[in-house]
Amino acid sequence: MYRSHNCGELRASHSNTEVTLSGWVQGVRDKGFMIYIDLRDRYGITQLYFDEERTPKAIMEQASKLGREFVIQVKGNVIERASKNPNIPTGDIEVLVSELNILNSSLVPPFTIEDKTDGGDDVRMKYRYLDIRRNPVKNSLIFRAKVAQEVRNYLSSDGFIEVETPYLIKSTPEGARDFVVPSRMNEGQFYALPQSPQTFKQLLMVGGMDKYYQIVKCFRDEDLRADRQPEFTQIDCEMAFVEQEDILNVFEGLTRHLLKEVNGVEVEKFPRMLYDDAMRLYGNDKPDIRFGMEFGELNAVTQHKEFGVFNNAELVVGIAVPGGNSYTRKEIDKLIDWVKRPQVGALGMIYSRCNDDGTYKSSVDKFYDQDDLAKWAEITGAKKGDLVCVLSGDTNKVRAQLSALRMELATRLGLRDPKVFAPLWVIDFPLLELDEETGHYHAMHHPFTSPKPGQIELLDTNPGDVKANAYDLVLNGNEIGGGSIRIHDKKTQAIMLKHLGFSEEDARAQFGFLMDAFEYGAPPHGGLAFGLDRLVAILGGQETIRDFIAFPKNNSGRDVMIDAPAPIDDEQLEELSLKLNLKS
């Protein structure tokens, strides 16, 4: 056997035990008459000791030629260290080597295999197999496995059945572009990779599998960012004979279970917040409620005061920054420059200082007196020593801008503690969303989301007012899961597709299989999908998902390690009846 123990296992209790270890050379310290080598595997590090008085000469010569990341096997005796290392679990012992076998040599790695490496993102992605040897990435992948296992434990114990659904499916309009796969056996036709298993899990409900889940890969051909990948993993769940409250209770339970078993944290409260309130108070539909700084709408106390910027605005809104009156004018100017960045897009920012003596000092004192500024403070909840920051403009844009400012200030103020977890449900989303460019409505979630009871008639008169029987689970300012009660009858589904612009022919072509299934006794059903990558990152105290994915793509959707995507040769193109029409 290659090893009797792993490199994180040996303790003082193993002294005088003959052991066999295998692993990678972390480092070599050659003192001439003695050599120390740190041997690493995924379990830890054990120090190896070579002594010219007790180690055969040939082995000493071998040891002196070892380099970083050589793969070796050693046999030897566990002895107590003369100088103990309290920083590692094996720090009380070392192994006096009697046999050494070089299993494989190694080139000098392009970056150091240390917790804090000298490798940049690009080079580490190119040599991802080396990056995985580093503790931060290795531990993130182990952490992900633990989360996935706990998900399976919880759902299986609650009667859920894990069912796999196909990857080669039909292209359906679900909000993002599909990845398509040509079919050699069906010339000129294409499969699509699933953006989600949505229709299949609904068909499983029709089939009587009343509690389904799977941990499944999904694919979306869309622009990327730090927390988004072209292929991602969902914890996909569906239940039959349920209402919204049933689903919320089940997945509150799952989230509590994960926080307790993975993070050792007890969370009792899962507040419910209306979508409209989330937008009004926080400017987005996934608010971080670990801290306050709620929005205060100031139209009534700022407009008609001869200040044109506010008078011409659809919305004037502010937040109170705790302790912000300590900011210097230079610091406030930098804050103004920050909101004017293209990524935020504000035209400027007005502010008011809340002085310790109860007076106020604003950048627009010419237009607003002390009574006016006192009302600003009252509406935003500002106290003595705070700073009121005010933005104005079109409602949707200014809410998004102030939301970005709120999160930036909270980060600077240390209010976003990754060890504190604040979940909430956001409910009653709009069913439809207006595309301002085309003037057409599209489904805010997907075409199978049910409207709230009694609101289907509003689709003909006030489609923008219809609320969806939909819900998102938010954790620390991130959407970690979302779902809805589904439409389960053919008539309602046909009405919904009509209002989304589908003709009867298009609806039949795209969703005929689902509409047919609804005619064979489809039960009321609904579900939820967690984004596993994001959930794991947040539970692990991170904002980005990449280090929790074994082989991620970069921000251009490329795998730089295997150099994909890549061209295919002419013979394959011909076999698939494809012809390239590349833009120059």
Q: Which residues are annotated as a binding site?
A: 174, 220-222, 229, 445, 479, 486, 531-534
| Cα–Cα nearest to 452, from 304, 314, 275 | 275
- pLDDT tens for each residue of 150-175: 999 999 999 999 999 999 999 876 56
| Cα–Cα nearest to 62, from 95, 37, 94, 26 | 37
- Assess whether the previous peptide bond of 565 is cis (omega < 30° from 0): yes
- C-alpha angle 371/375/376, rounded to 5°? 120
pLDDT at 173: 63
Cα–Cα distance for residue pair 91/12, rounded to 1 Å: 9
Every domain of the chain with CATH number 3.30.1360.30 lies at 291-413
- C-alpha angle 201/203/207, rounded to 5°? 110
> Which helix or strand (DSSP H or E) is residue 471 part of?
strand 470-475
What pTM value is reported for the model? 0.92
pLDDT at 277: 98
Strand partners, 294: none
Cα–Cα distance for residue pair 279/26, rounded to 1 Å: 51
The residue length of the chain stands at 584
CA dihedral sign of residues 509, 511, 514, 516: negative
Q: State which amino acid sits at residue 100.
A: L
Q: Which residues are annotated as a binding site for L-aspartate?
A: 174, 220, 445, 486
Contact 496, 475 (CB under 8 A): no
Cα–Cα distance for residue pair 14/89, rounded to 1 Å: 13
Every domain of the chain with CATH number 2.40.50.140 lies at 12-104
Q: State which amino acid sits at residue 230.
A: P
Contact 497, 507 (CB under 8 A): yes
Every domain of the chain with CATH number 3.30.930.10 lies at 138-272+423-571
CATH superfamily to which 138-272+423-571 belongs: Bira Bifunctional Protein; Domain 2 (3.30.930.10)
291-413 CATH choice from 3.40.50.720, 3.10.20.30, 3.30.1360.30, 3.20.20.70: 3.30.1360.30
Cα–Cα distance for residue pair 73/63, rounded to 1 Å: 11
Return the DSSP state at 519.
G
Alpha helices in 264-328 (DSSP H): 275-282, 299-302, 308-311
Cα–Cα distance for residue pair 21/17, rounded to 1 Å: 12
Q: State which amino acid sits at residue 509.
A: A
Contact 450, 428 (CB under 8 A): no
pLDDT at 175: 64
| 543 Cβ contact partners less than 8 Å away, ≥ 6 residues apart | 226, 227, 478, 537
Ranges of the chain whose pLDDT falls below 70: 173-175, 225-226, 584
Q: Which residues are annotated as a binding site for ATP?
A: 220-222, 229, 479, 531-534
Contact 17, 78 (CB under 8 A): yes
Radius of gyration of the chain (CA): 30
Cα–Cα distance for residue pair 23/331, rounded to 1 Å: 52
CATH superfamily to which 12-104 belongs: Nucleic acid-binding proteins (2.40.50.140)
